[in-house]
A = this chain, B = another copy of it.
Amino acid sequence: MRVSEQLTKTLREVPHDSEGGNQELLVRGGFIRQLTSGVYSYLPLGNRVIRKISQIVREEMDRAGGQEISMPVIQPKDMWDRQPASGPSRTEAMGDVLFKLKDRKGRDMVLLRVREFIMKDLYSFDADAEGMDVSYRKMANAYRAIFTRSGLRFIVIQADSGAIGGKASQEFIAITEAGEDDAMICDRCDYAANREKAEFVRTEFEREPEETLEEVYTPNCMSISDLAVFLNIPESRAMKTVCYVAGGRMVLAVVRGDLEINEVKLSNTLYHEGVNAADLHLATAEELVRDGIVAGFTSPLNKDEYVLIVDDPSLKLGNNFVAGANRVDYHFKNVNYLRDFRVDVWEDIASAYDGSTCVRCGGTLHAVRGSEVGHIFKLGTKYSELFDATYLDAEGVAHPILMGCYGIGVGRIMATAVEQSHDEKGIIWPFSIAPYHVALVGLDLEKEENRQAAEQLYADLNTAGVEVLYDDRTETAGVKFNDADLIGLPIRAVVSKRSLKNGGIELKLRSQKESRIVPLTEAVQVIRNEIRQGIAESV
């Protein structure tokens, strides 16, 4: 492709609606264009990247025995409304991430997801749990192959199944500071989990003899740390009680003062207890007043009428806690379970933190930021029971099918690849997903000799099947080099008066600083070798 004939140009200015990071580089490089907030067109360069990634995904899915189908975006709403006897319908559970609309005949339809994105989904169907496990492992391996081949640095973590549900789930997280996901990774074993899901060992402290409950005046103690300083106790000696409302009921969630409540764990706990947690939210001032709770000074004492959820490991490892007295500026000391308060549910509802202890090996968990590029689930029979999807065994008896589901965000791979691999000048594409492999930069083209050399190399590279973007414009060297760096093709080949005088073309990898001169007669072969090596390195 000649740059002079390309549909799009690079942008020298940062667009006014730039979101920074990979989005800005992709927009400035002419890969994508924003149509409206969060909605993009893929321009020729971006479209090539997406097609390269799609091809990697397709090859690995084919290799793993996948069979490709494509389904409509718009579907009858009633398909989404089949539901178990109780609980919210799926259109309700999905909330406003589903577009709802009517077709010409007035039938209710839904349009999958609010924002358009390109993704690959795969479903596995097995007769038993062992088969499901085999399919799941096969897909986990295929996913590793896909992200590796796409040049991503990623980790695989235990994840929460969320609204999709099921028995087990793993996320593939591309590591990047700009990511929106938090993962905890052990520095000793291979335990890694989403922060929403991560388990950890609570630190212990010495149990004391149980002492008498005592109400104390605690002025100006608006936080656990205020309280700890005022009473000269470690924060882990305080009880942290947070009031939520879910399904119309007041829920008191309690953890030790040195920990934070994890709303995803809390929500899952509520679901398991049969409470609809779809509308889980911090209790409002009105809701607190209605239920006679004093904000900032709550505790589980004398709260039998509410749902009490308590973080099991943290509050069983200690006693004589300090807890709110439900009266402004007063707390109880020496609060003890059984004697002073009762609990509905003991469950892990606290968030792991950077430096917490691994439940598997006692190593240390570290927080890592990243971006989810894939997610796999063992669904079990959740959906097959809902939709009566059964198979007949050898005796002709029907059983529900065991399902798995597996999703990859194709556009997300492009975005995180850029996020992981760029410098201040622009993108540095991995060979495997680069839109072209070679930026052929022709300089001093007004001289027939130089133009002929550049045109000949362009023709030779095309003949050899090398994907090359040839900058044949009448622009300065500075403009052309800046554009080449911004677009970020892995190999830059310069044909100029100077390079020819020095004996050939000037070859440089985008990822390196040094260039070298390669004789014109060897250029095609050297470039093909660089490409072969570059692609091989990511596999």
Best-buried of A41, A99, A100 by chain B (most CB within 10 Å): A99
Please tell me if A71 contacts chain B, counting CB pairs below 8 Å.
yes
Contacts A39-B72, A41-B69, A69-B42 given; does A96 touch B104 at CB 8 Å: yes
Of the stretches A43-51, A184-192, A495-503, the one at the interface is: A43-51
In the assembly, what is the distance between CA of A100 and CA of B70, in Å?
24
Q: Which residues of chain B come closer than 8 Å to A107, judged between CB atoms?
A: 36
In the assembly, what is the distance between CA of A42 and CA of B70, in Å?
5
Q: Which residue of B lies closest to A79 (CB)?
A: B35
In the assembly, what is the distance between CA of A107 and CA of B240, in Å?
42
Residues 304-334 of A contacting B (Cβ, < 8 Å): none
Whether A70 and B41, one on each chain, are in contact in the complex, defined by CB atoms closer than 8 angstroms, is yes
Best-buried of A39, A47, A69, A107 by chain B (most CB within 10 Å): A69
Min CB gap A336→B, angstroms: 48
Partner of A116, one of B36, B41, B72: B72
Whether B7 and A75, one on each chain, are in contact in the complex, defined by CB atoms closer than 8 angstroms, is no
Q: Which residues of chain B come closer than 8 Å to A116, judged between CB atoms?
A: 72-74
Residues 26-48 of A contacting B (Cβ, < 8 Å): 35-36, 39-44, 47-48
Whether B101 and A111, one on each chain, are in contact in the complex, defined by CB atoms closer than 8 angstroms, is yes
Q: Which residue of B lies closest to A38 (CB)?
A: B103
Contact mask for chain A residues 60-103; partner B; CB cutoff 8 A; 1 contact, 0 none: 00000101111111111000000000000000000010011101
Q: Which residues of chain B come closer than 8 Å to A44, judged between CB atoms?
A: 67-69
Residues 135-174 of A contacting B (Cβ, < 8 Å): none
Whether A76 and B35, one on each chain, are in contact in the complex, defined by CB atoms closer than 8 angstroms, is yes
Q: Which residue of B lies closest to A43 (CB)?
A: B69
Whether A7 and B67, one on each chain, are in contact in the complex, defined by CB atoms closer than 8 angstroms, is yes
Q: Which residues of chain B come closer than 8 Å to A96, judged between CB atoms?
A: 104
In the assembly, what is the distance between CA of A39 and CA of B36, in Å?
28
Please tell me if A397 contacts chain B, counting CB pairs below 8 Å.
no
Please tell me if A6 contacts chain B, counting CB pairs below 8 Å.
yes
Please tell me if A5 contacts chain B, counting CB pairs below 8 Å.
yes
Q: Which residues of chain B come closer than 8 Å to A104, judged between CB atoms?
A: 96, 114
Best-buried of A65, A71, A96 by chain B (most CB within 10 Å): A71
Contacts A75-B35, A114-B104 given; does A70 touch B99 at CB 8 Å: no
Whether A50 and B69, one on each chain, are in contact in the complex, defined by CB atoms closer than 8 angstroms, is no
Whether A101 and B101, one on each chain, are in contact in the complex, defined by CB atoms closer than 8 angstroms, is yes
Whether A39 and B101, one on each chain, are in contact in the complex, defined by CB atoms closer than 8 angstroms, is no
Contacts A101-B101, A104-B96 given; does A41 touch B71 at CB 8 Å: yes
Whether A111 and B114, one on each chain, are in contact in the complex, defined by CB atoms closer than 8 angstroms, is no
Q: Which residues of chain B come closer than 8 Å to A76, judged between CB atoms?
A: 35-36
Min CB gap A385→B, angstroms: 21
Whether B70 and A50, one on each chain, are in contact in the complex, defined by CB atoms closer than 8 angstroms, is yes
In the assembly, what is the distance between CA of A76 and CA of B39, in Å?
10
Q: Which residues of chain B come closer than 8 Å to A100, judged between CB atoms?
A: 101
In the assembly, what is the distance between CA of A420 and CA of B6, in Å?
39
Contact mask for chain A residues 509-522; partner B; CB cutoff 8 A; 1 contact, 0 none: 00000000000000
Contact mask for chain A residues 224-249; partner B; CB cutoff 8 A; 1 contact, 0 none: 00000000000000000000000000
Q: Which residues of chain B come closer than 8 Å to A48, judged between CB atoms?
A: 68
In the assembly, what is the distance between CA of A111 and CA of B101, in Å?
10
In the assembly, what is the distance between CA of A40 and CA of B44, in Å?
29
Q: Which residues of A contact B (CB under 8 A)?
A: 1, 5-7, 35-36, 39-44, 47-48, 50, 65, 67-76, 96, 99-101, 103-104, 107, 111, 114, 116
With contacts A41-B72, A42-B71 known, what are 10 further pairs, Cβ within 8 A? A5-B65, A7-B69, A41-B70, A42-B69, A73-B73, A74-B116, A100-B101, A101-B101, A101-B111, A111-B111
